[in-house]
Amino acid sequence: MNKNIYFIFFLISIVFSQAPIPKRPDGHKQGDINAPVYLEMFCDLLCPDCAHSWPTIKNVLEYYGSSKIYFIFHVFPLPYHTSAFFMAEASLVLENYTQSLFWDLLDSLYIDSKQQMFWDDAVENTTLEGIKSLMGSYLLDEFGLPNSYFWNGMNDVTIDWNSRVSWKYACTRGVSGTPTFMVNGVYVAMGSDSSLNDWINLLNPLFLNKPIY
Ligand SMILES: *[C@@H]1O[C@H](CO)[C@@H](O)[C@H](O)[C@H]1NC(C)=O
Ligand SMILES: *[C@@H]1O[C@H](CO)[C@@H](O)[C@H](O)[C@H]1NC(C)=O
């Protein structure tokens, strides 16, 4: 066979390689599932731009209320943030311990800036096990997560697998950076500097009872 045929097989293999199907629709959800508008946010828990946008997104959710917007937060750890995948796993461990603590973790990492403890420059001399230990102490101090529960979770194959599945899922949606926003499934050009007013201008037309062109 000539080279072109190999190249075509290669292309076919890209098209048909299927990401694992999450057992439940991906993400952490807030609000009424029957709300007219779905807002999705893809974030790395250690990303400063995500931290910057989080207070605004909280304001957007408060402004519209849970009957108007169903919010889905997807965790998308960036490979160039060394501790980000561990934090993604740790967030699932904490959520498995007490579901609502996932949202408290976002406030702590993003608004109280605790993410800085795990930035690359802060852990440059720390081993991977050391980084996990640091997370364990942080989650114990901040949320009372027992250390044994933390380590059990960090070594749990399901926690590991679910963290990978979420990451792969975001890839299938074309996400390559954070924060990425989608409204009713469509990518929107909103970023960490978008204000509440920018969001209102984007979303208000969706609630008007007439066609949008
Ligand atoms: C890591 O080690 C280097 C060399 O000893 C030191 O200069 C640097 O400040 C250390 N970094 C941290 C975050 O402790
Ligand atoms: C998650 O929670 C369930 C129910 O409480 C428990 O049976 C399971 O061991 C937990 N998993 C981990 C990894 O902590």
What are the extents of the domains in the chain?
24-207
* Best mutation site among 96, 101, 152 for ligand 2 pocket (most ligand atoms within 8 Å of CB): 96
Q: Give CA–CA dist 27/198, Å, rounded.
A: 24
Which superfamily, per CATH, for 24-207?
Glutaredoxin (3.40.30.10)
Q: Which distant-in-sequence residues (6+ apart) come within 8 Å of 92 by Cβ?
A: 153, 159, 162, 163
Check pocket membership of 124 for ligand 1, CB cut-off 6 A.
yes
Q: Is the pLDDT of residue 16 over 70?
A: no
Strand ranges, E, within 1-124 = 28-30, 37-43, 69-75
Q: Evaluate: CB of 96 within 6 angstroms of ligand 2.
A: yes
**Per-residue pLDDT, 203:** 97
* Token pair of 110 as six digits: 């993003």
**In sequence order, what are the residues at sequence separation of 6 or more whose Cβ sits closer than 8 angstroms to the Cβ of residue 106?**
45, 54, 73
Q: How far apart are CA 134 and CA 114, in angstroms?
A: 12
pLDDT in tens, 91-134: 999 999 999 999 999 999 999 999 999 999 999 999 999 999 99
Instruction: Assess whether pLDDT exceeds 90 at residue 3.
Output: no
Using a 6 Å cutoff on CB, does residue 125 contact ligand 1? yes
pLDDT at 20 over 80: yes
For atom 3 of ligand 1, which residue has the closest CA?
A: 125
Whether the CA torsion 22, 87, 112, 118 is positive or negative: it is: negative
Mean pLDDT of the region 156-169: 98
Tell me how far apart the alpha carbons of residues 99 and 28 are, in angstroms, rounded to a whole number.
10
pLDDT tens-digit readout, 125-159? 999 999 999 999 999 999 999 999 999 999 999 99
User: Does 59 contact ligand 2 (Cβ within 6 A)?
Assistant: no
Among 119, 121, 125, 131, name the best residue to mutate to test ligand 1's pocket (greatest count of ligand atoms within 8 A of Cβ): 125
End-to-end CA distance of the chain: 51
156 lines ligand 2 (CB under 6 A): yes
CA-based max dimension of the chain = 62
Distance 118 CA to ligand 1 centre (A): 14
pLDDT, one tens digit per residue, over 24-43 is 999 999 999 999 999 999 99
Does the pTM exceed 0.85?
A: yes
Which ligand sits closest to the CA of 151?
2
- As given in the structure block, the two tokens for residue 92 are 């699932």
Side-chain-side CA neighbours of 174 within 13 Å: the count stands at 6
H or E element: which one contains 187?
A: strand 186-188
What pLDDT was estimated at residue 209? 75
Distance separating alpha carbons of residues 77 and 166, to the nearest angstrom: 9
The DSSP secondary-structure symbol of 153 reads H
> What φ, ψ does residue 75 adopt, rounded to 5°?
-90, 125
